[in-house]
Amino acid sequence: MKVRAVYEKGDRVRFLGHLDVSRCIQLALRRAKWPVEMSQGFSPRPKLSVYAPLPVGVAGLREHFDAVLGGRPDIGTLARAFAVSLPEGFVLHELYPMGDEETPFEESIRASSYFVDMKGVKRETVKHALEAFLEAPQVLFDVRRPKRTKRVDLKPFVLGVGEPEEADNGRVVLDMVISHDKGRTVRPQWIISSLGEFGLDFDPREAIIDRRKIIFG
Amino acid sequence: MQDKTFVGPSWDDLRRLLGKVEKPARYTGGELGAVRKDLEAAGVTFALAFPDVYEVGASHLGSQILYSVLNSLDFVACERVYMPWTDMEEILRAKGWPLFTIESRAPVGSFDIVGFSLQYELTYTNVLAMLDLAGVPLRSMDRQERHPLVIAGGPCAMAPEPLADFVDAFALGDGEELVVDIVRAYREWKESGDRRTELLKRLSHVEGVYVPSLYEVVYDGGGARAIPKDMDGFKAPAAVKRRVIKSLEEAPYPDKPLIPLIPPIHDRAMVEIFRGCSQGCRFCQAGMLYRPVREREPETVDRLARDILERSGYDEVSLVSLSSADYGYIKETVSRLLRESPCGARVSLPSLRVDSFSVGLAEMLGSSSASGLTLAPEAGSQRMRDSINKRVTEEEILEAAASAFSAGYSRLKLYFMIGLPGETDEDVLDIARLASRIRQIGRDKGRRPTVVVSVSGFVPKPNTPFQWEPAVLPDELRRRQRLLRGALRGPGLEYRYHEVDLTVLEAVFARGDRRLGAALEAAFRKGCRFDSWPDNVSLQAWEDAFSETGVDPSYYAHRERDKDEVFPWDHLSPGVRKAYLWKEREKSREALTTHDCRAGRCTGCGICVDYGVAVRLAGGKEGPLMAEKVDQ
């Protein structure tokens, strides 16, 4: 039986990377005694797929993983056991059985909706930078990896950006929707970083970013 | 009495800066098993400090035991703090934030006690950095009533003089009972309202506690004799004995293991199957410091392993000790755990002997033949192995290798040391010859073997038979490295070595005296941190620190000591007698071996007699207190 879990990678665990999240989920599944099937072969692994990796620093309010289980255990029992096995900062929102004919997750995902929270910037500055960003024909950004640097045009990935708003404690918040194209997407930090070219003086590493939801198409 | 606040940086402030550091989850806590008590309400607050990065500290079993013991006391609230990596240190300093604990983000300087774990000498600058970041005066003499009591335990606490000016009290030996005595003594003092000096005096009479400020050191020739000061009639004990718990069976063990959210360096459940080791390897400090052997009963090991696996979710349990194949019930325990443990958990043994029995065990554990097998012959020639009392013959090594290749392994990693006392070039070259023979055995077995020879430079450690020996000079050590590397060329042979400069630094501090404190502080001021990390250590800064403070590193590292020299650690009794260590040193010069006392024949090290503890083997077997019957 295949099940899908919708869970939250909350504020307190936002600094975990994708592999860390996968490890936490695996440990919690074993504590919850889920009968997760193992792959065959030389080095068996649990049949577990944790989807749509979030970068270190980004929280996710509705994240997803699938697990393949032996037998047909009761969903309610599974959910209760897993919910109490999760470390602080993770929350299980939904758990449901999956049909065999479902579209693979990575193919069905169309976009991610993010909430961005910046402190110490003026709303007007953010607004102007965003407007300039949206008007530019392309916005090239260098993604630096340990062994190579890749240049990517951010523009096509940005499906929408909300009006920046002022919030308490000198914060400016905004929403943005970023597309996923056959597994390819860009990070909201890259977009914030690229706003430097358009007059925003803000270190993107200081932005608090939450993925509010994944949009399926 | 003390105006303290447990409020550190807010979560919102912190999270807006953590994106700038490497591995920010090092600083966010929230692990399963973490304990949060009300710090304001606690009778005694204790910051358990590990002077290395989170991933290293979170793997340290001793710290987990102490964390559990301390938090089991209703009047104590214990939180943890690890050395921040350099990027985080920069942020703390730039923001003016104090070093904080990971449970509550509470300033470490506000805790009653800060307790460091000293696992290796090259973390000493981190100890100073953590004190400084916590806003605690570096030197004990500058601390006042409002400052925390700074204590330190672990193997380096048995020869702690380089840190004597910075640490108020050292905790010697097994910590399970000792740490409870320390916090009780602290609570009594706190309630008394006495001055800080009274606390130190009080602590000096807790068995196993060494308060360095209550001793003056007289330097005489090469020696450094610590003598209790006369303080208006008060004198600390002339000698401080290490604490030894009599039985591991009754010792507390963490029932709620700490499960880090990022993988620590040892990412598995751990059960200590025995403490102490009586193999008697003459270079091994742990083998001398943790005597006698005290085994857990197999039923207890089994129960603890199952509990921890179930509570942690780990699928692997490591049966931890200094030589796990020596455990009396190792095969039965491993096979029962493999057969009956939850969810088919794996078992690992971190330290195996070099023999077919151990290879058989590794095979039983289902160790991946792809990942290879690690063995530690330590020396290449029989003469050197006898000299260091690594009681394994070449035949046994080759048999072990043959068993490993037959079992499907094609990659063997072999650990060796060079620079051992009495070593000749032939002994060094014998490492290459042994590796070649092993490679040939692999080929004869139809494999395409890879033999990895990993070589470290020998560091003479205090409280071992080699404590009188000089470390080999760096240029000579490099020459021997080159000699070995030249002899190890060829397909299927790989050579790895450790940095010579780090070996020298370790050799300086391992047998250092109190005068090294000035150099240590100077190095810290020059920015030295994480000195055991080859990419991080600043040798120039160390050279400058030594030169500015008039310290000759060679005096500590490369000097042969006289038989009667009084060592800076001689007033701290490890249990194994100095006369025994000298006798072992003399035997090493003649390449004579000493047997393992586990089988019942006493070797006369003195621990059982002097401490009234006995070797306790599983199955209810207790070794005799072998005072008179010393079998050579």
In whole angstroms, how far apart are CA B157 and each of B240, B457, B568? 12, 23, 12
B263:A31 CB<8 A: no
Nearest CA-CA distance, residue A19 and chain B, Å: 9
For residues B367 and B348, what is the distance between their CA atoms, to the nearest angstrom?
Answer: 8
pLDDT, tens digit, 9 for 90 and up, residues B518-575: 999 999 999 999 999 988 889 999 999 999 999 999 999 999 999 999 999 999 999 9
Chain A residues closer than 8 Å to B30 by CB: 12-13, 87-89
Neighbouring C-beta atoms of residue A99, cutoff 10 Å:
6
Residue of B21, B36, B103, B261 to mutate, interface with A, max A Cβ within 10 Å: B261
pLDDT, tens digit, 9 for 90 and up, residues B470-494: 999 999 999 999 999 999 989 999 9
pLDDT, tens digit, 9 for 90 and up, residues B357-373: 787 887 787 665 556 78
Amino acid at B187: R
Q: Looking at residue B367, what is its pLDDT?
A: 60
Q: Looking at residue A181, what is its pLDDT?
A: 86
Q: What is the mean pLDDT of residues B258-285?
A: 95
Phi–psi pair at B614, nearest 5 degrees: -120, 160
Closest C-alpha to B431, from B501, B382, B491:
B382
What three-state secondary structure class fits B44? strand
For residues B367 and B362, what is the distance between their CA atoms, to the nearest angstrom?
Answer: 6
B352-515+551-561 has the same fold as B11-237: no
Amino acid at B333: T
Closest residue to B313, CB basis, from A27, A57, A204: A27
Q: Is B436 exposed, middle or buried (0-12, 13-18, 19+ CB in 10 A)?
A: middle
**Sequence spans of domains, chain B:** 11-237, 352-515+551-561
Q: Residue B417 in contact with residue B452, Cβ under 8 Å? A: no
Phi–psi pair at B100, nearest 5 degrees: -125, 155
Superfamily of domain B11-237: Response regulator (3.40.50.2300)
Window from B163-172, B496-505, B570-579 with minimum mean pLDDT: B496-505
Q: Looking at residue A43, what is its pLDDT?
A: 77
Within 8 A by CB and 6+ apart from A88, the residues are: A12, A13, B30
pLDDT, tens digit, 9 for 90 and up, residues A156-191: 999 999 999 999 999 999 999 999 988 899 999 999
SS (H, E, C) B106-161: CEHHHCCEEEEECCCHHHHHHHHHHHHHCCCCCCHHHCCCCCCEEEEECHHHHCCH
Sign of CA dihedral B68, B69, B74, B80: negative
Q: Residue B169 in contact with residue B210, Cβ under 8 Å? A: yes
In whole angstroms, how far apart are CA A38 and each of A52, B352, B374, B488? 22, 30, 28, 42
Nearest CA-CA distance, residue A217 and chain B, Å: 32
For residues B375 and A209, what is the distance between their CA atoms, to the nearest angstrom?
Answer: 48
Residue of B12, B13, B16 to mutate, interface with A, max A Cβ within 10 Å: B16
Window from B164-173, B187-196, B370-379 with minimum mean pLDDT: B370-379
pLDDT, tens digit, 9 for 90 and up, residues A87-111: 999 999 999 999 877 788 888 999 9
The 10 Å CB-count burial string (b at 16+, else e) for B331-357 is eebbebbeeebebebbbbbebbbbbbb
Window from B194-208, B329-343, B344-358 with minimum mean pLDDT: B344-358
In whole angstroms, how far apart are CA B309 and each of A27, A28, B194? 10, 12, 46
Q: Looking at residue B632, what is its pLDDT?
A: 42
pLDDT, tens digit, 9 for 90 and up, residues A124-148: 999 999 999 999 999 999 999 888 9
Nearest CA-CA distance, residue A117 and chain B, Å: 10
Nearest CA-CA distance, residue B295 and chain A, Å: 29
| B243 DSSP β-pair partners | B173
pLDDT, tens digit, 9 for 90 and up, residues B61-108: 999 999 999 999 999 999 999 999 999 999 999 999 999 999 999 999
pLDDT, tens digit, 9 for 90 and up, residues B616-625: 999 877 665 5
For residues B447 and B405, what is the distance between their CA atoms, to the nearest angstrom?
Answer: 7
Closest C-alpha to B352, from B411, B305, B392:
B392
Q: Residue B174 in contact with residue B199, Cβ under 8 Å? A: no
Q: Looking at residue B607, what is its pLDDT?
A: 93
For residues A206 and A209, what is the distance between their CA atoms, to the nearest angstrom?
Answer: 9
Closest residue to B313, CB basis, from A30, A119, A204: A30
Question: Could you tell me the pTM of the whole model?
Answer: 0.95
Binned at pLDDT 50, 70 and 90, residue B631 comes out as very low
Element (H, E) at B547: helix B539-548
B25:A15 CB<8 A: yes
Within 8 A by CB and 6+ apart from B253, the residues are: B65, B68, B271, B272, B304
CATH topology of domain B352-515+551-561: Transcription Regulator spoIIAA (3.30.750)
Token pair belonging to B10: 């807010």
Chain B residues closer than 8 Å to A11 by CB: 11, 15
B443: left (phi over 0), alpha (psi -120 to 50) or beta: alpha
Amino acid at B40: E
Indicate if the pLDDT at residue B1 is higher than 60: no
Indicate if the pLDDT at residue A42 is higher than 80: no
A119:B16 CB<8 A: yes
Q: Residue B14 in contact with residue B158, Cβ under 8 Å? A: no
Architecture of domain A107-216: 2-Layer Sandwich (3.30)
A11 touches chain B (CB under 8 A): yes
Token pair belonging to A46: 């649990």
B343 touches chain A (CB under 8 A): yes
Indicate if the pLDDT at residue B628 is higher than 50: no
Q: Looking at residue B166, what is its pLDDT?
A: 98
Q: C-alpha B30: how far from its chain's center?
A: 26
* ipTM reported for the complex, 2 dp: 0.94
Residue bearing the bigger pLDDT, A58 or B411: A58
The 10 Å CB-count burial string (b at 16+, else e) for B46-81 is bbbbbbbbbbbbbbbbbbbbbbbbbbebeebbbbbb
Indicate if the pLDDT at residue B265 is higher than 80: yes
Q: What is the mean pLDDT of residues A14-30?
A: 97
Token pair belonging to B42: 């606690």
Token pair belonging to B86: 């350099």
A31:B312 CB<8 A: yes
Whether cis (ω within 30° of 0) applies to the bond prior to A204 is: no
B261:A16 CB<8 A: yes
For residues B227 and B111, what is the distance between their CA atoms, to the nearest angstrom?
Answer: 31
What three-state secondary structure class fits B348? strand
Query: What integer best gives the mean pLDDT of chain B?
Result: 93
Q: Which of residues 300-329 of B touch A (CB under 8 A)?
A: 310-315
Closest C-alpha to B453, from B403, B401, B387:
B401
Q: Residue B285 in contact with residue B237, Cβ under 8 Å? A: no
Q: Looking at residue B630, what is its pLDDT?
A: 47
Q: Looking at residue B627, what is its pLDDT?
A: 46
Q: Looking at residue B351, what is its pLDDT?
A: 75
Which CATH number among 3.30.70.580, 2.60.40.1250, 3.40.47.10, 3.40.50.800 corresponds to the domain A2-102?
3.30.70.580
Q: Looking at residue B342, what is its pLDDT?
A: 62
For residues B585 and A136, what is the distance between their CA atoms, to the nearest angstrom?
Answer: 78
Share of residues in chain B with pLDDT > 70 (%): 97
Within 8 A by CB and 6+ apart from B196, the residues are: B143, B144, B145
For residues B249 and B293, what is the distance between their CA atoms, to the nearest angstrom?
Answer: 12
Q: Residue B393 in contact with residue B382, Cβ under 8 Å? A: yes
Q: Residue B378 in contact with residue B417, Cβ under 8 Å? A: yes
Binned at pLDDT 50, 70 and 90, residue B54 comes out as very high
Q: Looking at residue A3, what is its pLDDT?
A: 96
Within 8 A by CB and 6+ apart from B579, the residues are: none
What three-state secondary structure class fits B189? helix
Binned at pLDDT 50, 70 and 90, residue B173 comes out as very high
| A91 DSSP β-pair partners | A8
**Sequence spans of domains, chain A:** 2-102, 107-216
Q: Looking at residue B371, what is its pLDDT?
A: 65
